[in-house]
Amino acid sequence: MLMPSLFEKNFADTMFDDFFHMPFGFPTVDAAGSSMSADVKEFDNKYELELELPGFSKEDLKAELKDGYLTVKAEHSSDNETKDEKGKYIRRERYYGTCQRSFFVGKDITEEDIKASFENGVLKLDIPKQEAVPKQEEKHYIAIEG
pLDDT bin (cut points 50, 70, 90) of residue 98 is confident
Backbone φ and ψ of 113, nearest 5°:
-75, -25
Q: Any idea what the CATH number is for the domain that residue 105 is in?
A: 2.60.40.790
> Average pLDDT, whole number, for the chain?
76
Give the pLDDT of residue 43: 94
The residue among 55 and 46 whose pLDDT is bigger is 46
Quick one: which H or E segment has residue 73? Answer: strand 69-83
| Residue 92 located in a structural domain | no
Q: Which of 24-28, 96-100, 122-126 has the lowest mean pLDDT?
A: 24-28
- From the number of C-beta atoms within 10 Å of its C-beta (0-12, 13-18, 19+), residue 126 rates as middle
- pTM summary value: 0.60
Q: Do the domain assignments include residue 64?
A: yes
Asked whether residue 94 is domain-assigned, the answer is no
Q: Tell me if 99 sits within 8 A of 74, measured CB to CB.
A: yes
Note whether residue 8 is domain-resident.
no
pLDDT digits (tens, 9 = 90+) for 106-145: 999 999 999 999 999 999 999 999 876 677 788 888 888 8
The total domain count for the chain is 1
- Cα first-last separation, the chain: 83
pLDDT attached to residue 109? 92
Q: Is residue 57 part of a domain?
A: yes
Does residue 7 form part of some domain? no
Name the residue range of residue 123's domain. 43-75+101-128
pLDDT at 30: 38
Note whether residue 121 is domain-resident: yes
21 in any annotated domain = no
